[in-house]
Structure 1
Amino acid sequence: MKSVILYSSSKKYGNTAHSVQTLAPELQADCIYLDDYEINDYCYNHTNSDDGFRTLFRRLLNYDHIVFASPVYWYAMTPRMKAFFDRITEFMDDEALQPELRKLRNKRFSILSNSIKGAAPKCFIEVFQRTCEYLGMICHSQIHHQYPFEGDK
């Protein structure tokens, strides 16, 4: 199974990156730092299609298993990860793009999270899980790492 870890965090080399680097060798996964890409918010008239979203989305379609990794920010994923998920709507809205969206069906997804708590909140997990399952993806695993609070290091 060809895997990729798509991760986002305000700290490129912080706790989320550490979790990603721990998991990647086990899965023999490629790693993509989402925050390196310009991904604008979803727009109903699709005027932002020249940013990095479509290229990145199409790149992910080459994998069988996508791990979405994010720290828990106020019970939610990072803003960049949320923008990524919101932009998938473009592939639903446009008939020409729908065949590409259907390529997500039966792909596996996993959720990799981290916070100062022992588990990710249910509402955090549900956003990933419900969205991916709506797209026809199959949940492979959920992994959570607990890190001590380190302040503004």
Structure 2
Amino acid sequence: MKKGIIILGSSNSFGNTHKIVSYIAEKTNYPIIDLKTKHIAEFDYNFNNKDDDFLPIIRDIADNYNLIIFATPVYWYAMSGILKTFFDRISDCLKIEKDTGRKLRGKNMAVISCGSDDILKAGFHMPFIESAKYLGMTYTSDVHSWIENENIPETVKQKLDNFVTTIL
């Protein structure tokens, strides 16, 4: 089994995406990092924010996990802003934290999206796929999910169970 971690990038720590991520975590025993509970500043060309929570988090991920699952609600047809900020900060690993950036090579990336319905617009996964390529990671899989009446529908549970099979 791959040692994985889930990065939850939602503005709502206990919203629909959290429900989906909790379902996956229960099946995989992967820990969840809730970015909403962390202080991660936007990318800064002068690296004045290097003392926030980003570098310790990315170092831990690079040192201890071989699968990173990014989980995001679909906001305006794209990943959440909080997750985009996390991705932008990976640039730190190309400039001031190069050893950590090199450790990302060969790791696996997967994506969980959660929207208001079952339709996901084409192109949603492109930033993840291209980032994985650029970093020398393998983009393994993705799954789109949604909630109905505050619950995970059975059709979504089946999709999530298939996703778990692909990442384990």
TM-score of the superposed pair, with normalisation by structure 1: 0.90
Aligned length in residues: 148
SS of the equivalent of 1:32 reads: strand
Alpha-carbon spacing, 1:149–1:130, altered in 2? closer, same or farther (3 Å): farther
Alpha-carbon spacing, 1:60–1:149, altered in 2? closer, same or farther (3 Å): same
SS of the equivalent of 2:125 reads: helix
CA distance in 2, matches of 1:64, 1:2: 6
The one-letter code of the counterpart of 1:111 is: V
**Is the Cα contact below 8 Å between 1:75 and 1:121 reproduced in 2?**
yes
1:51-130 aligned at under 5 Å gives the runs: 51-61=52-62, 62-94=64-96, 97-130=97-130
CA distance in 1, matches of 2:28, 2:138: 17
CA distance in 2, matches of 1:116, 1:128: 20
The one-letter code of the counterpart of 2:61 is: L
**1:119: Cα distance to partner?**
3.6
Partner of 1:22: 23
**1:141: Cα distance to partner?**
1.4
Larger deviation, residues 121-130 vs 81-90: 121-130
The one-letter code of the counterpart of 1:80 is: I
SS of the equivalent of 1:124 reads: coil
Query: Which ranges in structure 2 are unaligned for 5 or more consecutive residues?
Result: 151-168
The one-letter code of the counterpart of 1:10 is: S
CA distance in 2, matches of 1:135, 1:100: 11
1:36-70 Cα deviation digits (max 9, x unpaired): 11000101111111111101111111101110000
**Is the Cα contact below 8 Å between 2:9 and 2:35 reproduced in 1?**
yes
**1:148: Cα distance to partner?**
4.3
Query: Which ranges in structure 1 are unaligned for 5 or more consecutive residues?
Result: none
**1:121: Cα distance to partner?**
2.4
The answer on 1:10 being equivalent to 2:11 is yes
The one-letter code of the counterpart of 2:134 is: Y
CA distance in 2, matches of 1:105, 1:119: 32
SS of the equivalent of 2:101 reads: helix
SS of the equivalent of 1:122 reads: coil
Percent of matched pairs sharing the same residue? 35
Partner of 1:36: 37
